Structure 1
Amino acid sequence: MPLDLGRRLLESGVVQSGELRRAVFESLTRGKPLARALADSSSAARALLQRPLEGAAHPSMRAVVPQADLLRALPAGMAARLLAVPVRKDPRTGTVDVAVVDPLDPHVEAELAFHLGAPVRLIAAPLAEVERAVLLVGRPPPKDPLSSTADYAAAPPSITDSRPEQSPRTEPGVAPVAAPASTEEDAVPLVRRSRATMRAPKDEKNTLRAPPPPPSAPPQPVRVPTERPPRVAPIPAPVANTRPAVTTQPQTSLETTAPAPRAGDDRSEAVPLSRRRDTARPPTTDPYEQRKEPAVQMVVDFRAASREERAAAAQARPAAERKSTRVKLEPKRPPFPSLTPVLEAIDVAQDRDALIAALLRGIATTSAAAALFAPRRGKLTGLGAAGNLDPARVRAAPMSLRGALADAIARGERIGTLDPVADRELYDALALERFTSVHVLLHPAFVADKPALMLASYGMGDVLESSRRARVLATAAAAAMERLLRR
């Protein structure tokens, strides 16, 4: 149960009984996870939960990179309430690795295994990293309206009928039924009724009666004609006049009747109103017959012209703006080589070059590409590369300590994609423009609390195994560098 974490912290002396009671009260009334409530109520618990709660049978991790598809498969709010984030699914066994604050809680393992439909392995992680991973996916827990006294007071009242009261419709001729007299107090009805239906009128004179229906008249018989109706001759169509009527004077108004013919006029009929138009005389010659020169026929191959234009535009563009062909990076698959020979080579390294070669060989055991950087004059310079990386490109230009590099130094490790704009220098040094959606592992090695080396790799077949080996290599490299500096 989630209270086991508080019980263990109380028995170990990390929190006091009053702090535990306050944390349990906050968790029950406000719906806050117990780990977050303990961190808010106790400074000692906050300092303890800033790092993974490492157990004997559970691995640990410091940087949590959530798997969005696995996290969205859980019910809304479960990841935030249990402080559990799925980070990886083994393609061979189907086991889902889940980063949790308390890896000793069996309730979390049972709940996640039920909803994910797969076996679950719990991995200890810091509280802040788990909360940050939950916020990255954007699945906050739903707010419980009855979680606190203030929320309960603000809860909406019970649902009632908000429609306006209407008087009941009474059929004509039907008197309302009166309620029987009773000496006891009337019960309150569940549905509010209007005052008109509470008691029936006792006076029969006020009772509405329907008027008697009028006497119905006998139906008229339907007469069926026995003779066929007379045949009607069709109306002849009007004969169109082929002679167009041309007017020389424009008409300003229309008359309702045609003007009568003048005396001495030879025309036998008047011009009808439908022929009067304010139009000019039509031309007597065809304008197309006046053009004597023949039309020139042009044949243009538009497809050939477009191909030539596209080829010329492609040659005119610079090489940086041309569309690059990206491929999907094939990660290094297990089984991975043993790290024991590499650690032995690091322990017996006598110079800087032997140490760099051993570190690159160790990083490349689980990654398709590996690189090594060292700080110099406030910037990082490349020392070497392994796998499908060009060492000359890694050593080409120094990089500023910003973006992903600064985040890795501050957190101790960083696993994720790089921003092509903010991390442009590291993006070019690792030649990531060839691939799509590549996760890069950055792990610094510290000497005297200062970053002395930066291990970088991508194309990892197992992210957790790569992170564990990078942590072991960084520790061994720091010890070897201190030994070389004391010589």
Structure 2
Amino acid sequence: MAVEFAKGLVVSEVLSADGLERALFVAASNDSPLEHALLDTGALTAEKLEAELSRADAPSIQGLEADIDLLDRLPAGLCTRLLVVPLRFDERSNTVDLAVVNAFDAHAAEEVAFHLGANVVAMRASLEQVESALRDRPSYAQILSARPEKVAARPRMRDETPPPDPTYSVRRTPMWGTGLLSGTPREEPSEIPIPLTRRRSTFAPALDPLGDESVASITYSRLGGGLSLPDAELVRSRSSVPVGLPEPEDGSLQIDSLPAAAVEVAPSRTGRTSSVPTRREPEVTVSPATLRRADLPPPPDAELLDRPLTLSLIPPSITLREPVTTRNVAPRPPPPSALARNPSAPPGPPSHPPAPLSVRAPSAADPQRGSMAPSAGSAPEPSQVLAALKSAPDRDAILGLVLAGARVVARRVAIFVVRRGSFVGWLATPGLASSGEITALEIPADAPTVLAWASAEGTYLGPLDPSTHGPLVAALRTVSREMAAVPIRVHGRTAVVVLADELGDTLIATKRLEEIAAVAGEALARIVRAAKK
């Protein structure tokens, strides 16, 4: 199954992550398609699964009839496992028409193309149609009866000499302790023994046996077992004797003993600074007296012991590159032909001068206009907004919930109400409503704007043409290349248009805005019905 399809189910909150996990476990355990697992576990209903699968950008087909020859050329059980049905084979173009349930999954078409050695054109069909086509195919008994019978082999005559039995040459390893099977004399082993340990370094003084063994064991354990025990003896030296460190007085990290081979012997370097500001490295200073033992002669490199040894407890600093700066490039405005005068077509420049856009001050009688203060907590969940819309008491509460729900998927939102043949700015996010320009807008409904196009056709996603949206662009100050306009309809007529800018994922944002608009339309219709009673 396509990863994008599974992610889309979880991101769009059609399916929970736990439900998808259970379905995947059932599909993997039973070796069944994930579509069947989603239905068997109750994660999705058949109608909801079909609605999600129909979102694929693929042609649909009705009335499936499987091609028996193509089914025989495919491995047994492949079509049932992938939920595909081969329909037709075109010899001239070497193309196979394939009906699939999940058009998001390209693996099914690739698998069929590999086995048939032909190009595959995938067409979407419902799960019920594909299962019916696979059930209605002729049984294997009918297929076998239609094939010619195999000719039996000629029986052997009684006086015919049978062929000799095949002989096999088997070579087995001789049993332990037995002599050689061949007469080849065995080579004598080499008289020169292989040394198991290397020679001691010339500058290392001789230590007592117990000291050698203990130091090697300590070195091996301090190095994390990275060297074998003989190799660990090689790295020990005069400086490999465990060092006793003074006990810290401030209760910091205490080290009982440490081989000097793991201590960095380095003189103090002045003038070396890190290019990245880091915290001060804790240092442990070891006096030379603690490194000497009374029963050992001084080593050849005794002059190094006169210098203080520094043990660094944190890794060295790392130089970071300067961050790359980018320029804010203003989006190129769309061509003037992007919007048409007709509201039922995508917005474009009018064929004749439209009605002028008027900017008026907000009336004092308009209730609850302006911005809605954001809540101090986190953003509300979409399910909470939808539940609150169903029980909202009045129009202002509904519009406030619409603004709060739209802010989950867009940073800047403005709500326009249809009043007396115009789109009147009503609510906006605090960043837009602080200047008062959005709530002072009144745009004629017959002007070629995205508001008129969304009111007549539906959801709009695209740029704003500055030539036809001058006052709106001036009120928004900055616009992105993709803005969404979603209408809220009451009894089939547009009552409110939600304009959203700075979207995150446009697919998820438009879907979420459409869900909020649908529930808000039902809530407004409920308020209208209650007012008429």
Q: Normalising to structure 2: TM-score of the pair?
A: 0.29
Instruction: Please say which structure displays the higher CA radius of gyration.
Output: 1
Q: Normalising to structure 1: TM-score of the pair?
A: 0.31
